[in-house]
Amino acid sequence: MQLPLKTRILQYALLQEGDFTVDDIMKGIEKEYRSERLFNKKQVEEYFQSFVGIGFFEESRLEFDNNGDLITYCKTTDYAKDRCKMLM
């Protein structure tokens, strides 16, 4: 069963051993959603940021790229793992 995009992003993150960025997520699930207009960086960033806001993701490393844009490396929290066992 294909998951809603937001849920799939969360599942992808929960299944990672190390940290991840928005670009990692985009690459990781691209094959499943690439034909859909919903699947774009702005939308994935919005979902990513909402997970940060509610404490599902927490930053592990922060840096700027050469353009001065923030790259956020995150990992999932125990709170997310506890709440989303059905996705793991």
- For residue 59, list its beta bridge partners: 74
| Contacts of residue 2, Cβ cutoff 8 Å, sequence gap at least 6 | 8, 32
Residue whose CB is less far from other proteins, 31 or 64: 64
Interface size with other proteins, residues (CB under 8 A): 39
Alpha carbon distances (Å) from 14 to 36, 65, 84: 23, 25, 8
Of 14, 19, 43, 75, the one binding other proteins (CB under 8 A) is 43
Please give the residue ranges that form the binding site for other proteins (CB under 8 A): 1-7, 10, 36-40, 43, 47, 49-50, 52-56, 59, 62-66, 68-70, 72, 77-79, 83-84, 86-87
